[in-house]
Structure 1
Amino acid sequence: MSKSKRTITIEVVKSLKPGEIVWDTKVIGFGVRRQRSKARTYILKSKVARRQRWFVIGRHGSPWTPEKARSHALQLLGGIAGGTDIAALRDHDKSKLDPTLKEFCEDYLQDAKDGKVTYRGKPKKASTLSVDDGRINRHIIPLLGKKTVREITTDDVTSFMHAVRLGKTAVTVKTGPRGVARVRGGDTAAARAVGLLGSIMTYAIKRKLREDNPVRGVVKPSDRHRTKTLNPAEYKRFGKALDKLLDDGANPYAIHAIRLLAVTGCRRNEVFSLRKNAVDTHHHCFRFEDTKGGEQVRPIGDAAIGVLADVPIQKGSDYVFPAAWGKGHIRDVKVLEKACSLAKLVGITAHALRHAFASVAGELNYSDAVIGVMLGHRSNTVTGRYTHIPDPAGRSAADLVSAAILRRMKGAIEDK
């Protein structure tokens, strides 16, 4: 957050940029800040009983001008110096520190980007924050943004949940020259939006903005996992569709990335953002520095190594699957959608390929523990945290499962 010292005038207040704080040169501790919205707020920072405290004087606009806010700051400082009851000051602080949910969500996102909001003891990842941003701006703010954080009730949360579930916030939004975001309703959207709202309210409690969480006790819809999988005949059609698209001139990086998803069971972003230095063909594994389960060594089979061998190497890029433009990696799944359309498959996503991988492993009688190793599920064991080469059992399983999937994609008869 940008900070500077100037005499606070109406011109200074109007020129504030999002996230900027200006401290007054006339009254020490008096300042004005602008959040990500257009709102400007006058504040006072002072020590009370050897503890630094922040007081919100009020938003810029009637009745607060720079002069009136400065005068009020002087009154507060005089009260503090004269030993005014700290409880009274705290009550004053609470009565003023009452942002709308829209304003607090902006603070929440900024604090999360600064690493102050954590998940499992670690700062939230950029990809997670992007999803949070979308849910906040497309569900939470449109339905609850005008209410203050303090006045939101459990009934409000319940009404919000039903509104999202019924598609009241459904919309199609352009996200760039080529991008489109389709915001839909449904049980899953509602459950996850309410879950995020609960996290935001927990942070509000931490910030002393309220004492309880209104989300607690709300019965969320079942956050159903996508369980679509592929049988041998569907795998065959899918493999043929990918071959045809490649022959017809489709992006080879996208085709090979989708094949790698199918034979590894990796998450979409783990493959799309796969770096060259993360591929260890000698030990048959990927060395992920940062995944949903943390740093991991993930076993891969010969079929996966074969797919990687077919990927054209683009010099100057750190990624196995570089983007067509710029220095990033591939991101969209349009080729996957085309392949599914060509193969007459419905409901097949990158996540469905991961589920299908697990299903094939189950057919081959592997235990949940071994399947978890191949999929990169979180391990709580000391061995899981400190092993730097893949477990032989996991490597052997990855080899057999990926080979079975590749045979299906090529249309070979599956061994029983």
Structure 2
Amino acid sequence: MPKLTKTLLDKAELRDRQYTIWCSELKGFGAFVMPSGVRTYFVDYRNTNDVRRRMKLGRHGTITAEQARTLAIKALASVAHGNDPLMERREARKAMSVKELCECYITELENDRVLGKRGRPKKASTRYTDIGRIRQHIIPLIGARPVNQLTKADVTAMMKDIMSGRTRRNVKTGKLRGRSIVKGGPGTANRTVGLLGGILTYAKDELGIITANPAHGIRKPKDAVRTRRLSEEEYRKLGSMLRTTGEDETYKSTVEMIRLLALTGCRRGEIIGLKWSEVDDAGSCLRLEDSKEGQSVRPVGLAVLEAIDERRILEGYSPYIFPGREIDTPCGSFPNHWNKIFRESDLSNVTPHVLRHSFASMANDLGFTEITIAALLGHASGSITSRYIHTLDAALVVAADTVAGYIHALMDGSKLVLHSYPLDRKSRKAALTRFLETAAEAGTVVDDLVDRPMQFGT
């Protein structure tokens, strides 16, 4: 057997049947010669179980004899360390791709088997957003990669592609005249990497196909901090605009929803889907059945209850305070109406979240603490907020009354002056004495004193 070289293979005769040429210098290294003229390098070995394997290395012409020899040497060295190169290759070829993993994850997601915050299945809106990011960003960019070969560099490259807008496009959806505008950008990149990290955690902990999560530790772009809030003058403009728009019966319900958003700091979906059963008039709160944080109690001011009372004529007609075209569905025209109301106005850059942020900022201006504001907004902060809601309910109602009352007055066009609660001991003692004297004159028994809100006057 001569040494296996390019010249030797080029001169190899063709026969009616396949035959083998072995290399005299490297045991196990050889080449097939087919009747068609195709010549293929291979390596022959026995694994640790004494099973004979023959692994192809590449076709003559595609790789050289020396390249094939190098591959054979590496394979034989791997065998010497107890490995089985051919089986490893087969397993790699069968390895699940990122696309296949994503499809498995989507199936779990749609069957409520993927848990979100605090151990609850992800909400329908979150599932919709996650599936969109998977199909519009993750699969197009890294879907073909085997999951077990995915690296931090791959995840970082995906993130940068999303940031640069490589996945930006305008696609038609299944809905009538529906379109999906995919923009990309830093915020989308940040959230998509976070989603990919969750998918890879699923691959690691539940499927067991990887041992480490390559999305962990990726340096992600910082989200833009949203600081937009309404000034007092802008609240007056908003009130005037709503009064004018509300004269049109088409926009009346939307105007009332916008007013509630401003007076409560609730999320858009919480007001759109608000049910009569969730309004606790006696407790001066909304007991939301399914907010972003699950069940949530939101103390609300008197101005909110009065606004809801104006719609009592519809109670019993629909479970929703703002019903849609079908009585058993919530209003679906809010987004389009919002755009038409605000588009040409001085407040064109205001969003529902701006109203929420402005409510929180106004509460801060009025002197309420972070934990009080968190309870008013329904922010999740563990058992602390939960205990606070139940044990200091009166304080929260006072806070809700104060913030909603102040904003309501501004939207009605009033000009108000804030008076800070005095912090020096002499002034505080005088204020407390007046409070107790007033309570005694009214025949009130004071068991507990709660922090009084900041006072404001016209």
TM-score (norm 2): 0.66
Shift of 1:251: 3.2
Structure 1 residues 366 and 130, CA gap change in structure 2 (3 angstroms): same
TM-score normalised according to structure 1 size: 0.73
1:329 and 2:330 correspond: yes
Q: State how 1:245-394 maps to structure 2 within 5 Å.
A: 245-311=245-311, 313=314, 315-325=316-326, 327-331=328-332, 332-381=334-383, 384=386, 391-394=393-396
The answer as to whether partners of 2:389 and 2:396 remain within 8 angstroms in 1 is no
Change (3 A) 1:233 1:221: same
How far apart are the structure 1 equivalents of 2:268 and 2:211? 39
| SS in structure 2 of the partner of residue 219 of structure 1 | coil
Q: In structure 1, what is the Cα distance between the partners aligned to 2:107 and 2:90? A: 22
Deviations 1:262-304 (A, max 9, x none): 1000111111111110011111101112222232221000111
Counterpart of 1:211, as a letter, is T
Shift of the alpha carbon at 1:201? 0.9
Q: Which amino acid aligns with 1:320?
A: I
Higher relative contact order (CA 8 A, sep 6+): 1
Q: Which amino acid aligns with 2:359?
A: F
Deviation (angstroms), 1:204:
0.9
Per the TM alignment, residue 174 of structure 1 is displaced from its structure 2 partner at its CA by 4.2
Distance 2:352 2:219 in 1: 29
What secondary structure, in the 3-state scheme, does the structure 1 residue paired with 2:241 have?
helix
**Partners of 2:261 and 2:267 within 8 A in 1:** yes
Task: Indicate conservation of the 8 Å contact 2:371/2:385, yes or no.
Answer: no
Instruction: Output the CA distance in 1 between the equivalents of 2:159 and 2:147.
Output: 17
Structure 1: runs of 5+ lacking an equivalent: 1-86
- Give the structure 1 partner of residue 199 of structure 2: 200
Given candidates 400, 406, 409, the residue that maps to 1:407 is: 409
- The one-letter amino acid of 1:99's match is M
**Which stretch has the larger CA shift, 318-327 or 223-232?**
318-327
What's 1:141 paired with?
Answer: 139
Offset, 1:387: 5.8
SS in structure 1 of the partner of residue 246 of structure 2: helix
Q: 1:382 to 1:405 in 2, by over 3 A?
A: closer
Distance 2:90 2:239 in 1: 64
Q: What is the rounded CA distance, in whole Å, between the counterparts of 1:202 and 1:158 in structure 2?
A: 17
Q: Tell me the amino acid that sits aligned with residue 350 of structure 1.
A: P
Secondary structure of 2:381's counterpart equals coil
401-410 vs 178-187, which deviates more? Answer: 178-187
Taking the aligned partners of 1:180 and 1:102, their CA distance within structure 2 comes to: 24
Corresponding residue for residue 129 of structure 1:
127
Q: Note if contact 2:108-2:114 (Cα within 8 Å) is conserved in structure 1.
A: yes
Distance 1:263-1:92 versus aligned 2 partners, 3 A rule:
same
Counterpart residue type for residue 319 of structure 1? Y
CA contact (8 A) 2:112 2:121 kept: yes
* Deviation per residue, 1:13-66 (Å, 9 max, x gap): xxxxxxxxxxxxxxxxxxxxxxxxxxxxxxxxxxxxxxxxxxxxxxxxxxxxxx
TM-aligned CA distance change 1:309 to 1:97, over 3 Å: farther
Partners of 2:123 and 2:115 in 1: CA distance: 9
Residues 241, 342 of structure 1: 8 Å contact kept: no
Q: Determine the structure 1 residue equivalent to 2:181.
A: 182
Query: CA offsets, 1:104-151, max 9 Å, x none?
Result: 212102112323221232221222111111111121122122222222
Structure having the higher Rg: 2
Number of residue pairs matched?
Answer: 329
Structure 2 residues without counterparts, runs of 5 or longer = 1-83, 419-458
Question: Which amino acid letter does the alignment assign opposite residue 152 of structure 1?
Answer: L
Describe the SS at the equivalent of 2:222: coil
Q: 1:287 to 1:353 in 2, by over 3 A?
A: same
Question: Which amino acid letter does the alignment assign opposite residue 309 of structure 1?
Answer: D
